Amino acid sequence: MTIGFKLTEQNYRYLFDNASDAMWVQDMDGNIVDANMACEKLTGFTREELLCKNVREFVAGEFLEMAREVRRRLLSGENIVQPYEQRLFKKDGTTVIMKMATSLVIIDGETKGFQHVARDVTEEKRMQENMRFYVQQITRAQEDERKRIARELHDESSPPLLLLIQRLDAIASSQKPKFAQRLKDELEDIRTQAVEALEGLRRCAQDLRPRILDDLGLVAALEWMAENLVKDYGIDTKVEVTGVEKDLPDESQLLLFRIAQEALSNIRRHANASKAWIKMEFHDDKLFLIVKDNGRGFEIPQRIGDFASVGKLGLAGMQERVRLFGGQLEIQSESGQGTTVTVEVPI
Ligand SMILES: Nc1ncnc2c1ncn2[C@@H]1O[C@H](COP(=O)(O)OP(=O)(O)O)[C@@H](O)[C@H]1O
Ligand SMILES: [Mg+2]
């Protein structure tokens, strides 16, 4: 490729001044030596004011520490992830959250200072945080509601059914009035129906909020789910726990349980698998929950969140919930090679 012309210093100046991202240059002591117009907007100071300032006036506490670390790494040639997140104080005292990239200013082979490009992401972050809060509240409300319905099914709706079955049993076993065979068959039928209804209710209550989770904890609940998969669907499911098992807060247990529940329901409904594995790996400061199958696999969209827009909320919901806990979700899947859902959460 041939370049038809060479940009002049003036052209570059224009680009610098008018860029929509804030840019500034500082010397080795942190004194600002140049700043563009977007920088005025970002900080609330005019360019003239900025040129008399030191960057330390804008950053404080842990963020000053971070600035020092970036500086240290750049000078020693170590790797840093760019852009990184940083905060600074505006003229009016409010805080701006920025996505920022920093590099060395090298002139004639000598390091003279640092140059920064920064984008204000305060609004975006705030929206994200609000969104997270919202998701958290909804999730909580949903879980409370599930718990309430499960309890109601268990405590209010099941006992009368149980009583009905017992009464039917009593009639069937009392030989005194000699029932016609037809009536006996009819009674037996009614009993079978009542038992089925009761089992349905119990299953429904268990799915809503398994008591085993509250009573015996996560691993027991995972084993219980695995057993159900074997029993009801013929999928050979194994549970494995490695590392030192730790007591997890209720919310984390519930999170991991719901993820495993959704992943297993996907295996049941979509995977056509003969085998599944649930693995919990405990580490010192984090844990992994891995749910794997040997089924048909599927094509993962670029963003899991995209599933949500077509009404598929399972995987997208999983991802949101994991993020709420500061964790990460990873899905691997390949046609004919099965699917692996891996969740990492800090503990
Ligand atoms: N274990 C799996 N095996 C095969 N396909 C899967 C598996 N898990 C998810 N999928 C595919 O990913 C899609 C999205 O899953 P999900 O978000 O849980 O939505 P839903 O289960 O409601 O369809 C499913 O419709 C299915 O096509
Ligand atoms: Mg699903």
CA-nearest residue, atom 16 of ligand 1 = 314
pLDDT class of 182 with cuts at 50, 70, 90:
confident
User: Confidence class of residue 184 from pLDDT cuts 50, 70 and 90?
Assistant: confident
Q: What is the structure's pLDDT at 36?
A: 97
Considering only CA atoms, which residue is closest to atom 19 of ligand 1? 312
CA distance 216 to 195: 26
Q: Which atom of ligand 1 is nearest to the CA of 266?
A: 8
**Alpha-carbon distances of 109 from 112, 113, 325, rounded to whole Å:** 9, 12, 46
Q: What is the whole-number distance in angstroms between the Cα of residue 312 and the centre of ligand 2?
A: 7
Cα–Cα distance between 31 and 27 in angstroms, integer?
5
Atom of ligand 1 nearest to the CA of 271: 3
Q: State the pLDDT at residue 2.
A: 65
Mean per-residue pLDDT for 112-118? 97
Centre of ligand 2 to C-alpha 340, Å, is: 14
pLDDT computed for residue 4 by the predictor: 84
What confidence score (pLDDT) does residue 1 get? Answer: 60
Q: Which of 46-55, 183-192, 222-231 has the lowest mean pLDDT?
A: 183-192
Query: Among 312, 320, 337, 342, which is best to mutate for testing ligand 1, by the most ligand atoms less than 8 A from CB?
Result: 312
Nearest to 277 by CA among 288, 292, 287: 292
pLDDT at 325 over 90: no
Closest CA to 135 of 308, 310, 330: 308
Query: Which of 270, 300, 304 has the most ligand 1 atoms within 8 A of CB, as the residue to mutate?
Result: 270
Q: What is the CA radius of gyration of the chain?
A: 31
> Rounded CA gap, 226 and 229, in Å?
5
Spacing, Cα 248 to ligand 2 middle (Å): 25
Query: Which ligand minimizes its atom distance to the CA of 339?
Result: 1
Full-model pTM: 0.73
pLDDT tens for 13-59 read 999 999 999 999 999 999 999 999 999 999 999 999 999 999 999 99
**DSSP states along 194-217:** HHHHHHHHHHHHHHHS-HHHHHH-
Q: What's the confidence (pLDDT) of residue 207? A: 86
Mean pLDDT over residues 302-325, rounded? 90
% of the chain beyond a pLDDT of 70: 98
CB 259 within 8 A of CB 319: no
Q: Model confidence at 136, in pLDDT bands (50, 70, 90)?
A: confident
Closest atom of ligand 1 to CA, residue 338: 3
SS3 call for 179:
coil
CA distance 217 to 212: 7
Q: Which residue has the tokens 């039928």?
A: 189
Confidence class for position 105, pLDDT limits 50, 70, 90: very high
Q: Which region holds residue 117: left if phi is over 0, alpha if psi is between -120 and 50, else beta? A: beta
Atom of ligand 1 nearest to the CA of 300: 12
* Helix and strand counts by DSSP (H, E) for the chain: 11, 10
Closest by CA position to 74, among listed 109, 104, 101: 104
Do 319 and 342 contact (CB within 8 A), yes or no?
A: no
Q: Give the atom of ligand 1 at the shortest distance from the alpha carbon of 293.
A: 1
The DSSP code sequence of 255-272 is HHHHHHHHHHHHIIIII-
Question: Residue 175 pLDDT > 80, yes or no?
Answer: no
Tell whether the model's pLDDT for residue 229 goes beyond 90.
yes
For the segment 171-183, the average pLDDT, to the nearest whole number, is 75
Q: Mean pLDDT throughout 177-196?
A: 86
Q: How far is the CA of 81 from the centre of ligand 1 (A)?
A: 33
Q: What percent of the chain is modeled with pLDDT above 90?
A: 76
The predicted pLDDT at position 16 comes to 96
Q: Given the structure tokens 């900025």, which residue do they identify?
A: 50
User: What is the average pLDDT value for the chain, to the nearest integer?
Assistant: 92
- Which residues have C-beta atoms less than 6 Å from ligand 1? 266-267, 270-271, 293, 295-298, 307, 312, 314-316, 339
Confidence band of 176 (pLDDT split at 50, 70, 90) = low
Ligand 2 centroid vs 169 CA: distance in angstroms? 40
Axis-axis angle for helices 314-324, 122-152 (nearest 10): 110
**pLDDT band at 133; cut points 50, 70, 90:** confident
pLDDT at residue 169 tops 80: yes
C-alpha of residue 270 to centroid of ligand 1, in Å: 6
Which pLDDT tens digit goes with each residue over 71-96? 999 999 999 999 999 999 999 999 99
